[in-house]
Structures are given as C-alpha cells and as structure tokens.
Amino acid sequence: MAELIAFLLPALPLSALLVMLLLGRYPGCEAIVRLSERIAAWRRPRLGASGRRSDPRRAPSFAAAGGLLLALSLSGRAPPTAA
C-alpha cells in the first residue's frame, strides 16, 4: 500500500492542474497579465513637458566584460609547442 501511495504522490499536482483546466480556470493567468503590463509600461518612453524623453539614454557599450573578457584574452594565444 505504501508503494502505491509513493507512486501516486507525484501525480497529485498534475491531476489538480488538469482538473482546474477542465473546469475553465487557468492558474497564473492574472500573474501573466500583470507581468506583461509591467513590462509594457517599462518599455514605454517617458516623455517630459517638451515632448522629449526626460532621461537621456547612454550609448550602448560594446566592451567585453567578465567571462567574455577572459575568453577573448585566452583566444589569442597559440597552442603550446610539443616538447
């Protein structure tokens, strides 16, 4: 009996989700809508009184940093010579 319970226990969340979907409820739907609205509001430019953006944007930086900097420094080396 314990083996059967241990076998069916992981199927409980899946079966609960399936029942919710069959009943027409979509869990997380409201959270997805809120997140998409927040992303859309974040991407909109903020216009000041003059009709221009209130915060000037900086030019994108194309400098290598972090792991890319290390990879670029190691990629220029030739392989070691055989002794």
SS (H, E, C) the chain: CHHHHHHHCCHHHHHHHHHHHHCCCCCCHHHHHHHHHHHHHHHCCCECCCCCECCCCCCCCCCCCCHHHHHHHHHCCCCCCCC
Dihedral pair phi/psi, residue 68, rounded to 5°: -65, -40
Tokens representing residue 17 in the block: 């989700």
Write down the pLDDT at residue 26: 84
23-56 tens-digit pLDDT: 988 888 888 888 888 888 877 666 555 556 555 6
The structural domains of the chain, with segments of one domain joined by +, span 11-44
- The proportion of the chain whose per-residue pLDDT surpasses 90, expressed as a percent, equals 6
Write down the pLDDT at residue 72: 77
Write down the pLDDT at residue 35: 87
Looking at per-residue confidence, does 75 or 14 come out higher? Answer: 14
Most confident segment among 5-14, 37-46, 63-72? 5-14
